[in-house]
Amino acid sequence: MAAWSAMAAGWIFARPSSASSSTMTKNAKMHTVSDPQFGEILDYERLRAGMMDVLDNVYPTFNLMGSMLAATRHFQNDPSYMTACAASGLAYMMLVAAEEYELAAKLKGKIFTLAWTEEHTGTDLLSIRTRATPIADAGGKQYHLQGQKWLINNSWHADYHSVLAKVDPSASGPRSISLFAMPHSSTKNWQRLETHVLKSMVLTKYDIDGPATLIGLEGRGLEILQRMALPSKYHCAYMGVKMVDDSLPAAIEHLSQKRIFQNNPIQFSNVFRQLYNLTQQAALINFAFFRALAFSDSPFLQFHGIMLKSWLLLKCNEILSQNLLVTGSKGFLKASNIGGNAIDSFVYPVFDGHYTLNTLLTYKHTRRYLTARSQGDIEARLRTLRENAYLPREGKQILNNSRETRHPPFFDYADYIERCRLPIPLDARRLVQTSHDLLDAITRRGESNEPEYRYKIGMLVHNLEALLAAVELCKATGNDDYLNAALMQYNDTGKLLNRIISEGAFASDFIEPLRLLPLPKPADPRRFLLKLLDVKGQLRKD
């Protein structure tokens, strides 16, 4: 029965020798290899060849956007490769976050994996059972690890595993977790876990039983993880943004060339309206991502990163799903990236920490966000965006000061939007006041610690910040064609407020939606939409 259960979950197998691995045949078009055990999987030698260039942007200098651009150069935004690259890169980043520079230099270029989760815990890392027992050595760094890890990417092909384990299995506090670098030789009893998404990756569960090296100090594993996790959220969000960047232009091109009823579908007002709405949303998420990146080497690192990990990736998923429906049957073909990206995009909101848990972290900022009174410097922020957005810059995000990132310098939200003076009736002050009243009402009920409201209010703050990003998109580009993006985001924020009010039966008045500006009627719809998607080209006219 045990053997049958293992086979039902996947396979139990032995790692191939170098000789047997040579029997794999390559699929040049899809950049995969035919593996005798796994079938079509990504080419891990190709992954290894590109990792050194990616990691040159992690150590000895840290360039957050540079590492992303290097991954794009080598792996052409292929979701399976980009995810495997991110998993390896983020696991390696743990060495840099722990300031283990000698080890980082020694192991640079190796394939790593994030060996954190266990089947009974998922994201609840404090409940892990993997045990670390000290081994007598002069440096006090050697331990024997025993346990099991689950749903781990790259693990079968990784040279090293970044493992979270407990020295005292009865401990449960934040100082109960330690981080270890473990060689592949300390793993056994592998099972592959088949998935509905990113099918060319190899996800597994396996046992750990062997020596490993302590990274940083004992009991500081979560601290190191959290330091690494702040910039890592930008890597996850980047993959969602690139999926949209790839899929929406493909849909526009297809619907500009396809012939139906003696015309191109993009010429039909119903199709153009859907593509126009998606393009406005796609332009906003693209700008919101690179806006956050431009301010990432600052106390806003955590606040923006969590917003990207939650609001932005969920928005990417929504855009990609709607884009698939608009495209129609062509998008469902395996050769099309439109359907594949829509399906694969469901991975990223839960990759490297579930989006719901990330959103709960934003709740703690809510009162400071809504009651800030300092005046935001519009010109200084626009200058930062024009100078830094879309350009790789060296920074210190990996060595962020947690005291600073826990208290970003918020400014008067409504005042800032009013002073931007967009020619549309955004009532930011009404949104802020209603949000503040709602927060007070939740507190009076004694429900401010309820996960439901912490999540909803966290999402509300993300939507408010997305509206601020939409306003800055219009200001930074000087293009009034993006005004509908701001109006759409205002309505989305009002819709969320109304849902919270309705579901909680609160007495607050509902937010009325704003009318969008008339649908444009361009002579060349294809050219018009593609230009809207090119936010970088309009912001960086140099």
What's the rounded Cα separation, in Å, for the pair 126 and 107? 28
Q: What is the mean pLDDT of residues 373-398?
A: 96
For 391, which DSSP code?
S
The string of DSSP letters for 441-473 reads HHHHTT-TT-HHHHHHHHHHHHHHHHHHHHHHH
30 pLDDT exceeds 60?
A: no
Task: Find out whether 260 and 268 touch, Cβ atoms under 8 Å.
Answer: no
- SS3 category, 375: coil
What's the rounded Cα separation, in Å, for the pair 420 and 400? 31
Task: Find out whether 107 and 91 touch, Cβ atoms under 8 Å.
Answer: no
Band of residue 402 on the pLDDT scale cut at 50, 70, 90: confident
342 pLDDT exceeds 50?
A: yes
Nearest Cα neighbor of 265 from 278, 279, 251 is 251
Walk me through the domains of the chain, giving residue ranges and CATH numbers. Answer: 25-219 (2.40.110.20), 226-539 (1.20.140.10)
Where is 105: in which H helix or E strand? Answer: helix 101-107
CB crowding 433-471: b at 16 or more within 10 Å, else e: ebbeebbebbeeeeebeeeebbbbbbbbbbbbbbbbbbb
Task: Find out whether 11 and 4 touch, Cβ atoms under 8 Å.
Answer: no
What's the rounded Cα separation, in Å, for the pair 73 and 70? 5
Question: Which pLDDT belongs to residue 151?
Answer: 87
What's the rounded Cα separation, in Å, for the pair 296 and 397? 7
329 pLDDT exceeds 50?
A: yes
What's the rounded Cα separation, in Å, for the pair 445 and 447? 5
Pairing state between β 160-166 and 39-42: unpaired
Question: Which residues make Cβ contacts (< 8 Å) with residue 159, sequence separation at least 6?
Answer: 107, 110, 111, 112, 183, 184
Pairing state between β 160-166 and 112-115: parallel
Question: Which residues make Cβ contacts (< 8 Å) with residue 396, sequence separation at least 6?
Answer: 62, 297
Residue pLDDT, tens place only, 106-126: 999 999 999 999 999 877 899
Question: Which pLDDT belongs to residue 1?
Answer: 33
Band of residue 369 on the pLDDT scale cut at 50, 70, 90: very high
Residue pLDDT, tens place only, 239-250: 999 999 999 999
- SS3 category, 335: coil
What's the rounded Cα separation, in Å, for the pair 282 and 114? 30
Where is 251: in which H helix or E strand? Answer: helix 221-257
What's the rounded Cα separation, in Å, for the pair 71 and 84? 10
* Residue carrying structure tokens 């793993």: 187
What tokens were used for 54?
């990616």
For 309, which DSSP code?
I
What's the rounded Cα separation, in Å, for the pair 47 and 111? 8
Residue 278 identity: L
What tokens were used for 255?
């619907």
pTM across the whole model: 0.92
Q: How close are the terminal C-alpha atoms of the chain, in Å?
A: 66
Band of residue 66 on the pLDDT scale cut at 50, 70, 90: very high
Structure-model confidence comparison of residues 124 and 158, the more confident one: 158
Q: What is the mean pLDDT of residues 198-215?
A: 94
Task: Find out whether 126 and 104 touch, Cβ atoms under 8 Å.
Answer: no
Question: Which residues make Cβ contacts (< 8 Å) with residue 495, sequence separation at least 6?
Answer: 511, 513
310 pLDDT exceeds 80?
A: yes
Question: Which pLDDT belongs to residue 432?
Answer: 98
Task: Find out whether 336 and 297 touch, Cβ atoms under 8 Å.
Answer: no
Where is 150: in which H helix or E strand? Answer: strand 142-153
